[in-house]
Amino acid sequence: MRRGVAQLGRALGSGPRGRRFKSGRPDHELLFKGEAKTDQKRIPLFEGLLSFLKEKRLPMHIPGHKGGSGAPLTLKEFLGENVFRLDLTEIAPLDHLLTPRGIIKEALDLATQAFGTDQTFFVVNGTTGCILAMIFSSVTEGDEIIISRASHRSAIGGLILSGAFPRYLPSKFSWECGFSFPNNLEEVKAALERYPKAKAIFLTSPNYYGVTQDSYSIVKICHEHGLPVLVDEAHGAHFIFHESFPPSALKAKADLVAQSAHKTLSSLTQSSLLHYNKGIIDLHRLQSALLILQTTSPSYLLTVSLDASRWQMVNYGREIWQKAIDLAEYARAELNRIEGLKCLGEEDISKVGDFYLDPMKLTINFKESGISGREAEKMLRKEGVEVELSDPWNVLCLVSTGDTWESIDRLVQAMRRVKQTNGKAPKELRDLEGSTLPGIPEQVLTPREAFQAPHRLIPLKDAVGKISSEIVAPYPPGIPVLCPGEKIEEEVVSYLWKIIRIGLVIHGLEGEGEEKWIRIVA
């Protein structure tokens, strides 16, 4: 990684060293001839922008900061001038993200080749944008779609946009690990039999904690049923770059795969990849959805970071991931030496089923330590460590290509200071452990109908029998107990009261303490 960043920095500084890129020529016209198609050593989008900058054209166009001249000084001093210089807009020579024919097309061709897909798209509003486009383009009003209940909230957004009717796949929650698992082959097979009219299936793998389902057999059986497979692989953009990582849905030829390159690769926040494999999904509809859902002013900083990230991964990925894997293994071993802590490994995951674990995710379980994951997060904050997330049982840390022996040692030292060993899980966890999660409620309206209907806020105590207009998700399990358009059953309300009394978090309810309100279809 260090090498990659250094090269980018040097090239951005222009001058003769910038010429290390084959196309470091001042004449940008030469860049638009598709030369880059298979040359993974190139970063065509970056090269094209640098060539353009070298021409020092008079910018009588947006953005208003005009290469940084009009930028707030404090920000410019901190960010440096080059950030503003590269923050160009889509003027003709610089191509268009949504209808690419020049340097963006060349960058996309290289990404398509690198990820082994039929077409890869750069998306500038995250995997949220990818998921909206995936669902919006593959199902339409009234179509049934099989969808993992533990999906990211953008999947519900996709249902609202498309008007589709969800057939939720229940998610298995492990009290042992403290999180839900991706849906497996048996669950998918059962859903295919139960919902023969379904037009698509949407799955999430890996989950936030890096637990991954092998998509091969799932994709195979869904394709035998003529069903396109849409996969939220937000946390798995690195999978294809090292053999120690879990298998990617890309290798299984899932029809559409969304990856947050910004989460596990090194591109800038918000930049994601949407991968298309031909067969069932209409490419034109997918492109139209991306046109509808994305800004007409995509940031070149984001797209260039995707192009450079692809270049870094293809040319140096194996080497830099090997180093990161070594660090993660060292961290796992050291954390497991701390009494009372357990850093989850494949042996823990395999007790739940046949799953893979991304070694870069460190799920540190505090169950035996006498403090909750949430408390541990706060204590780590006092030690100067910010974690990815915490839940009642765990804190989750991400190791990436940006880590060093020093950063890992710092984490381990902080964790040593944080852990406590009175060997008794906190009361709220003991109260919750083993609870039966409510079943999936009756779908009375589609999420779109529920979204479009008038809404009203009522006390939770009066909610039984009404229709939810929101996603309501208690943590744990982090899986929604209500989604838009579902009937609010007694079972769900009782579970919510239990969570409220224990004092755990519920997303989607309003109000303080036990004064809780819920938004319903009026």
Ligand X SMILES: Cc1ncc(COP(=O)(O)O)c(C=O)c1O
**What is the contact surface with ligand X in residues (CB under 6 A)?**
126-128, 152, 154, 204, 208, 232, 234, 260, 272
Do the strands 342-343 and 517-521 form a parallel or antiparallel pair, or are they unpaired?
unpaired
Q: For residues 249 and 496, which CB has a smaller minimum distance to ligand X in the complex?
A: 249
> Least CB distance from residue 322 to ligand X, whole Å?
26
Contact 522, 458 (CB under 8 A): no
Ramachandran angles phi, psi of 147, nearest 5°: -145, 135
> Least CB distance from residue 156 to ligand X, whole Å?
12
Q: For residues 127 and 469, which CB has a smaller minimum distance to ligand X in the complex?
A: 127
Supply 385's token pair.
């460590």
The C-alpha atoms of residue 514 and residue 512 are separated, in whole angstroms, by 6
> Least CB distance from residue 182 to ligand X, whole Å?
10
| DSSP letter (8 states) at residue 393 | S
The residue whose Cβ lies closest to ligand X is 126
> Least CB distance from residue 337 to ligand X, whole Å?
30
Q: Where are the alpha helices (DSSP H) in 237-282?
A: 261-264
Q: Is 118 helix (H, G, I), strand (E, B) or coil?
A: coil
| DSSP letter (8 states) at residue 94 | G
Q: Where are the alpha helices (DSSP H) in 214-355?
A: 215-224, 261-264, 283-293, 300-336, 346-349
**How far apart, in Å, are the Cα atoms of 11 and each of 7, 39, 84, 112, 214?**
6, 18, 16, 24, 40
**How far apart, in Å, are the Cα atoms of 187 and each of 91, 148, 191, 193?**
49, 10, 6, 10
Choose among 277, 207, 218: nearest CA to 246: 207
The C-alpha atoms of residue 244 and residue 208 are separated, in whole angstroms, by 18
Q: For residues 52 and 202, which CB has a smaller minimum distance to ligand X in the complex?
A: 202
Q: For residues 52 and 239, which CB has a smaller minimum distance to ligand X in the complex?
A: 239
Contact 393, 429 (CB under 8 A): yes
> Least CB distance from residue 326 to ligand X, whole Å?
26
**How far apart, in Å, are the Cα atoms of 348 and each of 254, 364, 418, 419, 480?**
28, 12, 23, 20, 25
Choose among 512, 510, 515: nearest CA to 455: 510
SS3 content of the chain, % helix, strand, coil (to 5): 45, 15, 40
> Least CB distance from residue 187 to ligand X, whole Å?
17
Q: For residues 256 and 408, which CB has a smaller minimum distance to ligand X in the complex?
A: 256
Q: For residues 269 and 494, which CB has a smaller minimum distance to ligand X in the complex?
A: 269
Q: For residues 170 and 340, which CB has a smaller minimum distance to ligand X in the complex?
A: 170
> Least CB distance from residue 204 to ligand X, whole Å?
5
Q: For residues 21 and 209, which CB has a smaller minimum distance to ligand X in the complex?
A: 209
> Least CB distance from residue 206 to ligand X, whole Å?
8
Q: For residues 187 and 232, which CB has a smaller minimum distance to ligand X in the complex?
A: 232
> Least CB distance from residue 115 to ligand X, whole Å?
16
Q: For residues 272 and 369, which CB has a smaller minimum distance to ligand X in the complex?
A: 272
> Least CB distance from residue 153 to ligand X, whole Å?
8
| DSSP letter (8 states) at residue 164 | P
> What is the secondary structure of 475-488 as a DSSP string?
ETT-S-SB-TTBB-
Q: Which residue has the tokens 């692809």?
A: 310
